[in-house]
Amino acid sequence: MLGSLVIVVIAGAMLGKLVADSGAAQRIAAGLIQIFGQKNLQWALMTTGLVIGIPLFYNVGFVLVFPLIASIVYRYNLPAVYIGLPMMAALSVTHGFLPPHPSPAALVAQFNAHMGTTLLYGFAIAIPTVLIAGLLYSKTLKGIPTNLIKTFQAEGLPDDQLPGLANSLISALLPVIFLAVTTVVNPYVSNSSSFKPVLIFLSDPAIVMLISLGVATFSLGILRGTQMKYIMNSYGESVKDITMVLLIMGGAGGLKQVLIDSGISNEIAAMLDGLNAHPLVLGWIIAGIIRVCVGSATVAGLTAAGIMLPFIGRPDVDPNLMVLSIGAGSLMFSHVNDAGFWLFKEYFNLSIRDTVRSWSVMETIVAVCGLGGVMIINSILN
């Protein structure tokens, strides 16, 4: 498990940390708000969440973007949950659906799915899901009272110290660009072509992340006069932040192998096979149950993967869609046993009741919409 994912996860954490420290994320957010205008602040924040959420892990992304939400709330005197929920929904969806985030990346490896195809399907599902769970649902939450803590109103970097918008976008989204281009081009390149090995090399997730990290190190660091020592210290801090994630992934990989080698996985699959439900729905249900019981989306996704592995290979099961189905289920009803629940509650300074009404319900809508999107794509493919 770790052998196939350590490079992807660590390089992704390093890239996200550099995007944050260099001010690229701040530039992206400011640029999008300028493009959308004051009347469409929710659209600007939602789009920012999608863009920033791709390279950044959820907790890092949350802490990074919250000062932006706070500054908008103070500046325009707007309801905080109403303004901020679309961005939080976008961060959550990218965390659960899109590689190179730990759970979807691990599921791709376990199910032998295609990273680029999963990413394209994930985007197709993520956008309408965020619109429903974030933008539409937030309109019912305007009445939730919030009194944001002043310390979260961060100053950020001065505008003259921020990288350009184009540089920021390209550096942050280079992994997605690489995977999307290689996935689209691949069917049109003959196996006998001399370019085919190059294409295969460039579409490998680990190579994509290493190339993207190298480019960003130059474009967001060295090119702007940042000393390599500072960049390396930043990368070192980013690895410390994800140590627990790597341990969880390694443990989940070990549990998966126990389920397989002991035959428990096949027994569970045989029992579930008798149920009148599609395997994609079963994967979603199992991940959802584990998520509600355990709290961690990563643990829920990786544990459900071990149980659903025997279903992969059936003609009615697309491994790419199984990744997304389990990813959607792993976001089901976040509550008091999930760190994300408390992060949202404390930063927005809400009661537990209002946190459940806003955050927990939003996560549930994300899970349900995600499954709906998976089944729609599955019906189109079959």
Q: Over pLDDT 70: what percentage of the chain?
A: 90
The domain limits of the chain are 2-381
Give the residue with greater pLDDT, 71 vs 12. 12
Q: Which residues contact 134 (CB under 8 A, 6 or more apart)?
A: 46, 49, 85, 86, 87, 88, 89, 90, 362
For 319-341, write each residue's pLDDT tens digit: 999 999 999 999 999 998 887 88
CB burial of 58-70 (b: ≥16 within 10 Å; e: otherwise) equals bbbbbebbbbbbb
Closest CA to 82 of 96, 95, 72: 72
pLDDT band at 151 (very low <50, low <70, confident <90, very high): very low
Is the predicted pLDDT of residue 362 greater than 80, yes or no?
Answer: yes
Tell me which amino acid residue 196 is.
Answer: K
Quick one: average pLDDT of 92-110?
A: 86
What's the CA gap between 309 and 343, in Å, rounded? 33
Tokens at residue 246, please? 């790597």
Collapsed DSSP state (helix, strand, coil) of residue 314: strand
Predicted confidence at residue 145, as pLDDT, reads 83
Specify the pLDDT at position 220. Answer: 93
Least confident residue range of 86-90, 102-106, 198-202, 286-290:
102-106
Categorize the per-residue pLDDT at 294 as very low, low, confident or very high, splitting at 50, 70 and 90: confident
Categorize the per-residue pLDDT at 53 as very low, low, confident or very high, splitting at 50, 70 and 90: confident
Has residue 237 got a pLDDT over 80? yes
Residue 349 Rama label (left phi>0; alpha psi -120 to 50; beta): left
223 Cβ contact list (under 8 Å, min separation 6): none
Cα angle: 18, vertex 24, 29; to 5 degrees:
135
The residue among 267 and 231 whose pLDDT is bigger is: 231
pLDDT of residue 178: 83
What pLDDT is recorded for position 156? 65
pLDDT band at 251 (very low <50, low <70, confident <90, very high): confident
Whether the pLDDT of residue 274 is over 70: the answer is no
Confidence of residue 262 (pLDDT cuts 50, 70, 90): confident
- Percent above pLDDT 90 for the chain: 35
**pLDDT: is 75 or 191 the higher one?**
191
Residue 41 and residue 72 in contact, taking contact as beta carbons nearer than 8 Å: yes
Global pTM exceeds 0.85: no
**What is the pLDDT confidence band of residue 283, given thresholds at 50, 70 and 90?**
very high
Residue 46 has pLDDT above 70, yes or no: yes
For residue 114, pLDDT beyond 80: yes
CA 333/CA 291 separation, integer angstroms: 8
Q: What does the block give as tokens for 99?
A: 């590689």
* pLDDT surpassing 80 at residue 94: yes
Is 312 in a helix, a strand, or coil? Answer: strand
